[in-house]
């Protein structure tokens, strides 16, 4: 069975030069530390799991449980720390299975976008892009996931970046973010989605010239 045109186009763009830091930094919060020796960071991976739903391409995001750790209560892609001898793809698939019940065997990996250092939690996160051949039966792992919701590719590409002033460390900082389903998506997740969004815009641009 042939792949959907969108998936074929996305696969092609993932194999070309990526937007990388140029796109990531558009959603970088003011005051965020970018540079840290990669060797000091623990490898981690997240999954952008695309599937068709009601005529649109969507992927899930999660609201993390309020566990008191560095990213407590934040919006994120399913994912986590690498374990043992895993590679990035194995990590992303395992974590997505554990957190939201996406079956690894249902995912066809299309490629990777640029890794992102997260100094606050000492991780180097590798985003993996995958295609779910059928709609996943999404179920939250209650200790880690408070909510699951989906984002359409169309919504992400049309979403305007908003800015808010947040006070911490005794001063106000400018925080860029996406508003999605009533949630504020900021920090590392927004930076990853900023690059993915740029890829999607490139695909739209290519399609319009055909």
Domains of the chain by residue range: 5-208
- The pairs formed by 34-37 with CB atoms below 8 angstroms and a separation of 24 or more are 34/117, 34/119, 35/117, 36/117, 36/119, 36/122
Question: Where does residue 91 rank: exposed (0-12), middle (13-18), buried (19+ CB within 10 A)?
Answer: buried
* Contact assessment for residue 162 and residue 179, using Cβ atoms and an 8 Å cutoff: yes
User: How confident is the model at residue 208, as a pLDDT?
Assistant: 53
Sheet holding 183-185, edge to edge: 162-168, 171-180, 183-185
CA dihedral 87, 85, 116, 74 (to 10 degrees): 100
User: How confident is the model at residue 209, as a pLDDT?
Assistant: 41
Question: Distance (Å, rounded) from C-alpha 152 to C-alpha 136?
Answer: 15
Instruction: Report, in angstroms and rounded to the nearest whole number, the Rg of the chain calculated over CA atoms.
Output: 17
User: How confident is the model at residue 210, as a pLDDT?
Assistant: 43
Describe the crossing of helices 187-208 and 5-14 by its angle, rounded to 10 degrees: 110
Mean per-residue pLDDT pooled into runs of 10, the chain (210 residues): 91 97 93 64 97 96 77 86 97 98 98 93 94 96 94 96 87 93 94 98 72
The CATH homologous superfamily for domain 5-208 is Nucleoside Triphosphate Pyrophosphohydrolase (3.90.79.10)
pTM for the whole structure: 0.93
Question: Where does residue 186 rank: exposed (0-12), middle (13-18), buried (19+ CB within 10 A)?
Answer: buried
């Amino acid at each position: 069975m042939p792949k959907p045109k969108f998936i074929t186009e996305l696969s092609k763009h993932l194999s070309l030069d990526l937007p990388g830091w140029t796109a990531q930094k558009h959603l970088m919060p003011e005051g965020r530390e970018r540079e840290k020796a990669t060797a000091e960071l623990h490898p981690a991976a997240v999954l952008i799991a695309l599937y068709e739903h009601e005529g649109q391409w969507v992927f899930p995001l999660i609201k993390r449980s309020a566990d008191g750790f560095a990213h407590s209560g934040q919006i994120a892609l399913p994912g986590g720390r690498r374990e043992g001898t895993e590679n990035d793809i194995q990590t992303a698939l395992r974590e997505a299975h554990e957190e939201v019940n996406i079956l690894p065997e249902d995912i066809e990996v299309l490629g990777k976008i640029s890794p992102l250092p997260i100094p606050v939690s000492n991780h180097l996160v590798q985003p993996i892009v995958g295609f779910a051949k059928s709609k996943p039966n999404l179920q939250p792992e209650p200790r880690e996931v408070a909510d699951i919701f989906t984002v359409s590719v169309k919504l992400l590409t049309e979403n305007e970046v908003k800015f808010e002033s947040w006070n911490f460390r005794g001063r106000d900082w400018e925080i860029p973010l996406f508003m999605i389903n009533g949630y504020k998506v900021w920090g590392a997740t927004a930076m990853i989605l900023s690059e993915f969004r740029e890829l999607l815009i490139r695909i739209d641009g290519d399609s319009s010239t055909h």
